[in-house]
Structure 1
């Protein structure tokens, strides 16, 4: 009976290094949220802002590319829709948010 010694719990090794405070426990988590903001959220907000500015700047006569890859010249504009001339005389009605890119003037010569 006298050969068994008492067992004591080991202390936390981070406490001996001084990392037992708030930053020691949650610092990595905070760092991950900051990195995610700068790598994912902020660039997405910037792209959305640029897309909105492009939509507001669309004007009659602009040459555009739609999501489906259709190239055309804007002939009519309303609040939600555009009418594109896709070949001589052929027109197509598309939603404004379907436009992905505005091309430089004179890009589409076959119209």
Structure 2
């Protein structure tokens, strides 16, 4: 009825490196799937956002994380923008809070 200790020891796990690898294979596959489905797309979005923020210039119409829509009037070097949200109403906004650029201004033509 009960398994004797000697019989239970005989049914042990197979020895060798292949057995250890086969035990870690599901964990490795889970990490690979998570990398391609979560980590990589998030890094790509962060890179695109960083490029968008760096390309901001005067005259661009932007939307902030708080939902404020306005036109960039001044780009500061310390990571801030001055955004006009209504006539003669300007606010300072952190560059990284810009989530979307609604309309880009054309670069000024070189006067030659």
CA distance in 1, matches of 2:58, 2:29: 48
Aligned twin of 1:95:
94
Q: Secondary structure at the match of 1:75?
A: strand
**Is there any run of 5+ residues in structure 2 with no aligned partner, and where?**
106-112
Change (3 A) 1:21 1:90: same
CA distance in 2, matches of 1:84, 1:105: 14
CA distance in 2, matches of 1:38, 1:52: 21
CA distance in 2, matches of 1:85, 1:38: 40
CA distance in 2, matches of 1:56, 1:87: 24
CA distance in 1, matches of 2:93, 2:82: 6
Computing the radius of gyration from Cα coordinates, the structure with the larger value is 1
Cα displacement (A) at 1:66 = 0.5
Aligned twin of 1:51:
49
TM-score (norm 1): 0.78
Q: For residues 96-111 of structure 1, what are the structure 2 equivalents within 5 Å?
A: 96-104=95-103
Q: Give the alignment's Cα RMSD to 1 decimal.
A: 2.4
CA distance in 1, matches of 2:20, 2:86: 65
Q: Count the aligned residue pairs.
A: 99
CA distance in 1, matches of 2:104, 2:22: 58
